[in-house]
Amino acid sequence: MIQMEFDIHTHSIASGHYTTDTVTDLVKAASKNNLKLLGISEHGPAIPHSCSANYFRNLAFAPSMRLGIRVLYGAEVNILDYEGRLDLDNQIMEKLDYCIAGMHVPCIKPGTMEENTNACIQAMKNPYIKVLAHPDDVKYPVDYRKLMESAMENHVFLEINNSSLAPDGYRGAVKENDLRILKLCREYDYPVLLSSDSHGGKNVGNFSYALDLIREAGFPTELILNRSAADLLRLLGL
C-alpha cells in the first residue's frame, strides 16, 4: 500500500458547484484520511459562480495549520485562449502558495491539437503555475511529448486526475491519455502528481483509480510526487 501524504487539487463551496462543503469540511476529511498536507485550489473567476479576485487576495490571512494539517492556499486558474492567457493577474498569483492551470469548456473552446498544446505550453511558462490540471481531457487533444518537455523546462507537474478516471468522470475515455502521460514521466524520469479533484470532502485524498492505473502501467512509485509532503514544500519554496 502506497501512503500518499497530500492532495492539492480540491474544491470547497467557494468554487460554486457540486458541493456545499466548506474548507473546514475538507480539512476534516484530510485528517480522517491521514494526510499531512492539504491544498485548496478554488476555481478562478472565469468559471461561472466561482471566486472573485478578492477571494484569492484574502487567502493571505487564512491559517496555514488546521487540525494538525498543513494547509496550502492556491487556485485552479483558467486558461482563456490559445496564447495561454490566465484569469488571475500575476500580482494575485504571486501571493498564493501555488497555482494550477486548466482548460474548461466555459472558459475556452476546444481547439486543434496544435492550439490546445500551445495554450498549455504558454500557460506553463507563467512562473506561478506549478501544475497542469487534467491534461487527459479528450475534449482538448494535445501533443503529450511537447507538453512533457515544456513541463520539465518550466518546473511544472502533469496531473493524473482521479476524478477523470472515475466511472462517472465527465472528461471522456481518458485512460489511454493518462497512460501516455505516465509513459513519458517514466521515460524522462520526471515526477507525476496525483490529484483527487474532490469537490467537497467526500473524495479528499482518494486516488484509487489513479493508483489502479499506476499499478497497471508498472509505474515506479518513487516518481509519485504525493509520497512526500516535505518534497512538495521544498519544490514550491515554502
Per-domain residue ranges for the chain? 6-236
What are the tens digits of pLDDT across the range 58-82?
Answer: 999 999 999 999 999 999 999 999 9
Q: Say what the pLDDT of residue 171 is.
A: 86
**pTM for the whole thing?**
0.95
**What's the CA gap between 111 and 117, in Å, rounded?**
9
What number does CATH give the domain 6-236?
Answer: 3.20.20.140
On the 0-12 / 13-18 / 19+ scale of CB atoms within 10 A, 129 is: buried
pLDDT the model gives residue 1:
64
Considering just the CA atoms, what is the radius of gyration of the chain in Å?
A: 16
